[in-house]
Structure 1
Amino acid sequence: MSDAHKSDLLLVTVTLLAAISWMFSKEAVLLMPPLLFMAVRFLIAGGFLAIVAWRPLSRLSRDQLKRSVGVGLVFGVAMSFWVMGLFHGTSMGEGAFLTSLGVLIVPVIARLAFKEIQPASTWLAIPVAVAGLALLSLRHGFQPEPGQIFFVAAATIFALYFTLNTRAANQRTAVDRQGKTIEKPRIPALPLTAIALVTVGLVTLVESLILEPWQPTFSSPPPLLIWWVLASAIVGTAGRFLVQTYAQSLATHSHGAVILVLEPVWVSLFAAGWFGETMTPVQLAGCGLIFTALIVNRWGALSKASEHH
């Protein structure tokens, strides 16, 4: 099997792990405060990866450490909004489609913040996504639910995280205050991921200390809770990011970006099977438009990938 095919198969596995992680997370936030759950989940996952990545971690420069923590701080804020969306949301499938809007916002941020040129397909996809968003939030006039607002906020901040993460993981040039051009060396994927995950854990831990009551969870934890937390930390977080990093290192030309678009589809199917969730025709149409927008946005990557196979 070629590396490109192997990469594609592994990325399909990543979307399945990510979707299963939604189930584990939903089960956990039904039993404990959501931000506390995120703190425990990410500290376990980040700690696990830090042990695996100990050697490369010890070789990072101060600048690389600072940039990795910066990526983690943005990721932490995004995950805080996401878990509050999961906690307050009424439909998990709908939440997954709203979160996937981040894929569309990435090029907008890259254009506005870093002056990166974007293909025409990006600008075609955005109005289609907005129409899908309108169908999801305009069911009873303009009355978006708290869960929907949290998911859209998470998608926007995820987009900033994706942009910063990509820039950290690739070598680039930057201009310092004196106007000199300096090389910014890339940060290896494994230590970058480990630091980002630990930072997310610390951010959500501080938020939880300020905002949430811990007493009921620790005085009499439900028996299944520890399994949901461990499953989402090891399988849905550490496992998923390790597989994704490895898959992306295998092939330069891959359907990668397109395959990751499958995640909300899996989440909707699992939510229907696991929690018995259903969607109204209007919700289905809204999710369908968002999915169409994601495919339009990734059309360049899709056609490039088919040329290389």
Structure 2
Amino acid sequence: MNRIERAPWQADALLLLVTLMAAGGWIFSREALAGMPPLLFIGSRFLLAGLILLGFAWPSLSRLPARRVRRSLFVGLLFSLATGFWIMGLSVSSHLGESAFITSLGILMVPVLGILFGDTPPRTTWIALPVALAGFGLLSLNAGFRVELSQLLMVCAALCFALLINVNTRVVRNVAALPLTTLQLLAVGAVLTLVSLIFERQPMALSTPVLGWFLASVVLASSLRYFLQIKAQGMTTPSHASVILMLEAVWTALIAAWWFNETMTPLQLSGCALIFLALLINRWYWVRKVLRRWLPAQTSA
């Protein structure tokens, strides 16, 4: 019996909770952006979240060799770029559900960018890629035969996140998940806060609701989310976890439809459906394992 078959149901439950928290993070962030500049918001959010996790990660961090700390912080620079693209895309996006599905393309691009590191993508990736491109094409058609700025920024974020995953598995493979996440959150927070102080001129409009959304982003969508994600990923395999984490885009679209009264045109629905189908095709081997675990086959009489 392999690890996937022995993985407890608690891992699935935690990962589902993580996807809901991540989807909630899109809502929290959009609401907080009403009173904060984008880079200052995301920089201070990650900085505070990293400081919270630091309390849990300090015992292992204090024993971490200096070279691994430097590598983790260096990879955090790439994380900063990905997060910067994401928050700037979110700040100009008119549709959170659509943006969430575009960002989820990063999952599909992980094996493609692995070519840069000598990996060979599985056949399912090459089948899924044209499906995903067709989905993105339909989203672009919805904007009137043009790519919107928010869509372009989310594609850049997806590519950077895919590259980040590839780099993480190679450059800092010997660093445990909790100290690695803590160092990278601190790096993102420090870099983007500094960039904001240098370049952003948008005035602050802090209010009690904005501060509440900001704190929800820090505590729920960052610190607690990453802590639970790390715990859940330690209870199962990365491929199994990635299948469940794909649901983030679905939850985001549903919550945005409820909270912001967002609706999708037939082209948007078709585009998002094709992107999600591409993700399923790309992870089909693991999708089947998850379905077999959730819907065990009936034994024949």
TM-score (norm 1): 0.89
Q: 1:210 to 1:284 in 2, by over 3 A?
A: same
Given candidates 165, 168, 173, the residue that maps to 2:168 is 165
Counterpart-to-counterpart distance in 1, 2:238 and 2:183: 27
Given candidates 257, 275, 278, the residue that maps to 2:260 is 275
Is the partner of 2:208 in helix, strand or coil? coil
1:219-264 C-alpha deviation (Å, 9 max, x unpaired): x621212111111011101111111111111123873111111111
Q: CA deviation at 1:62?
A: 1.7
- For the pair 1:130 / 2:118, whether they are aligned, the reply is no
Counterpart-to-counterpart distance in 1, 2:92 and 2:141: 18
Counterpart-to-counterpart distance in 1, 2:165 and 2:238: 19
Q: CA deviation at 1:161?
A: 1.1
Q: CA deviation at 1:194?
A: 0.3
Is the partner of 1:221 in helix, strand or coil? coil
Q: Specify every segment of 5 or more residues in structure 2 that has no aligned partner in the other structure, as ranges.
A: 1-5, 297-301
Q: CA deviation at 1:29?
A: 0.8
Counterpart-to-counterpart distance in 2, 1:277 and 1:168: 40
1:164 aligned partner, one-letter code = V
2:299 is aligned to: none
Identity %: 47
1:179 is aligned to: none
Counterpart-to-counterpart distance in 1, 2:86 and 2:59: 32
Maintained 8 Å contact 2:34/2:210: no
1:29-75 C-alpha deviation (Å, 9 max, x unpaired): 12110100001100110000112111111111122112211221111
Maintained 8 Å contact 2:76/2:187: yes
Given candidates 132, 147, 152, the residue that maps to 1:149 is 152
Maintained 8 Å contact 1:40/1:229: no
1:250 is aligned to: 235
Backbone CA RMSD of aligned residues: 1.8
- For the pair 1:300 / 2:285, whether they are aligned, the reply is yes
Counterpart-to-counterpart distance in 2, 1:295 and 1:32: 36
Q: Specify every segment of 5 or more residues in structure 1 that has no aligned partner in the other structure, as ranges.
A: 171-185
1:261 is aligned to: 246
Counterpart-to-counterpart distance in 2, 1:278 and 1:87: 19
1:213 is aligned to: 201
Counterpart-to-counterpart distance in 2, 1:250 and 1:116: 26
1:248-288 C-alpha deviation (Å, 9 max, x unpaired): 11123873111111111000000010011111110110000
TM-score (norm 2): 0.92
Q: CA deviation at 1:306?
A: 5.2
1:237 is aligned to: 222
Q: 1:4 to 1:123 in 2, by over 3 A?
A: farther
Counterpart-to-counterpart distance in 2, 1:222 and 1:306: 45
Q: 1:94 to 1:147 in 2, by over 3 A?
A: same
1:264 aligned partner, one-letter code = A
- For the pair 1:49 / 2:75, whether they are aligned, the reply is no
Q: CA deviation at 1:3?
A: 3.8
- For the pair 1:189 / 2:177, whether they are aligned, the reply is yes
